[in-house]
Amino acid sequence: MQSRRDFLQKLTGSVIALQISPAIIAASCSNATSHYDGPVLRVAIMGLGSYGTRVAEAMKDCKKAKLVGVISGTPSKIKDWQAKYNIPEKNCYNYETFDQVKNNPDIDAVYVITPNALHHDQVIRVAKAGKHVICEKPMSINAKDGQEMVDACKKANVKLLVGYRMHFEPKTLEIIRMRKAGELGKVLFFQGLCGFTIGDPKQWRLNKQLAGGGAMMDIGIYAINGARYMVGEEPIWVTAQETKTNPEKFKEGVDETIQFQFGFPGGAVASCLSTYSMNNLDRFFLDAEKGYAELYPSTGYGPIQGRTSKGELTQPHVTHQTVQMDEMAGIILEGKQPPVPVDGEEGVKDLKIIDAIFFAAKTGQKVDIKL
């Protein structure tokens, strides 16, 4: 399976020069098949690792969002990105200086793509600088920190969005539409399987201080979030069981495999798996009284494949991050309302559930969830 943590695949295509312009501008779409005249969100990416690179490449095809700045602790990466994406020196910052973005009228928003434990302070600093924030998921390492981020952005009167790319994926949205329209009937059961075998044991994702956990924070969150939007309700209880086969690789506080179960107010139940030690686990299955829906793969970079009791899902694949950034630009600049929320409050809900899962796994108790 292809997770958002995979290393960057080889990408081809010519570099498109970016033209800096006022906050609300008319722009031509970078793919020649259509034209767009409207507001463009000018974005600086914070964290120039593999996923930051993936987002930058995807943004070359955006209509409403453009990469105009970078924030990194590695000077050589900044130089490389400047050359590749035509980024001016005045739009480049490091982790000590990025507060100065408040004085830069050419940047509207910052996309924070750094290790989980850094999100809290970085998002709050960006908000205080008066810029909108997009934060990669999980939004933080616990619900308390997440709520502080939401509060800081509200106080600064800036928007906080979370990188839930699947909330814009066409096949996923078709299943949600079918469920809302009653075509599947009463939802009875959801299964979410999310996992892969992780490599380098020294990477930050296996460092509790930076990641806040292990597989659950990275890949398990897809099953949590997916259970919520596929069932269409918020879970009211959770039970969980943790399995650890390699305590040398997965230290204390870094989960290897957790199975967890949800109950929903309408009577539906869910059974989910989050793991860093098994492959071939990228599957969502929804069972209801009148039919079913399945996505396999369900959350990888794509193409997503799906079918329902009515047949195959045939919506075309578009690069997830391209769609995400265009849609998020619409949310920030035009006040658009997405079919599934991607705001900070949505991120806090997932963090509250993660907190409950960890507690349930530790204590063996059935834990009530109040969102």
Residues 103-109 have a mean pLDDT of 98
What does DSSP assign to residue 166? G
What pLDDT score was predicted for residue 35? 83
The pLDDT value given to residue 28: 35
For residue 6, the model assigns a pLDDT of 44
Q: Count other Cβ atoms within 10 Å, centred on residue 333.
A: 20
Q: Is the pLDDT of residue 308 over 50?
A: yes
CATH number listed for the domain at residues 166-317+344-368: 3.30.360.10
Per-residue pLDDT at 5 exceeds 80? no
Say whether pLDDT at 192 is over 90.
yes
Chain segment 227-258, per-residue pLDDT in tens: 999 999 999 999 999 999 999 999 999 999 99
pLDDT computed for residue 15 by the predictor: 33
For the chain, the domains span: 166-317+344-368
Average pLDDT over residues 280-298: 98
Rg, the chain, Cα only: 20
pLDDT: is 101 or 2 the higher one? 101
Report the distance separating Cα 308 and Cα 291, nearest Å.
7
Instruction: For 213-233, write each residue's pLDDT tens digit.
Output: 999 999 999 999 999 999 999
pLDDT value of position 93: 98
137 catalytically annotated: yes
Distance CA 64, CA 37 (A): 9
Q: Strand pairing partners for 287?
A: 189, 292
Sign of CA dihedral 212, 256, 341, 301: positive
- Catalytic residue status for 222: yes
Other CB atoms within 10 Å distance of the CB of residue 265? 11
Q: From edge to edge, which strands make up the β-sheet containing 187-195?
A: 311-312, 306-308, 292-295, 281-288, 187-195, 269-275, 257-263, 237-243, 367-368
pLDDT for the residue numbered 130: 98
Residue 230's contacts (CB-CB under 8 Å, 6 or more residues apart) are 175, 176, 179, 187, 190, 192, 284, 286, 293
pTM score: 0.91
Give the C-alpha distances (Å, rounded to integers) separating 260 from 64, 190, 263.
39, 12, 10
- C-alpha torsion 43→47→53→54, nearest 10: -80
Residue 331 pLDDT more than 70? Answer: yes
Least Cα distance to 135 among 160, 153, 155, 156 occurs for: 160
pLDDT, tens only, 125-160? 999 999 999 999 999 999 999 999 999 999 999 999
The pLDDT value given to residue 1: 42
Mean pLDDT (whole number) for 329-349 = 98
Q: Residues 64, 137, 159, 352: which is the catalytic one?
A: 137
Q: What is the β-pairing status of strands 41-46 and 109-112? A: parallel
Whole-angstrom distance, CA of residue 107 vs CA of residue 128: 14
Is 13's pLDDT higher than 90? Answer: no
Of 222, 229, 276, 301, the catalytic one is 222
Please indicate whether residue 1 or residue 351 has the higher confidence score (pLDDT).
351
In sequence order, the β-bridge partners of residue 162 are 135
What is the rounded (10 degree) CA torsion for 30, 32, 38, 40? 0
pLDDT digits (tens, 9 = 90+) for 18-76: 333 334 333 333 444 468 999 999 999 999 999 999 999 999 999 999 999 999 999 99
Give pLDDT, residue 21: 37
Q: CA–CA separation, 160 vs 139, rounded Å? A: 10
Mean pLDDT, the chain, integer = 92
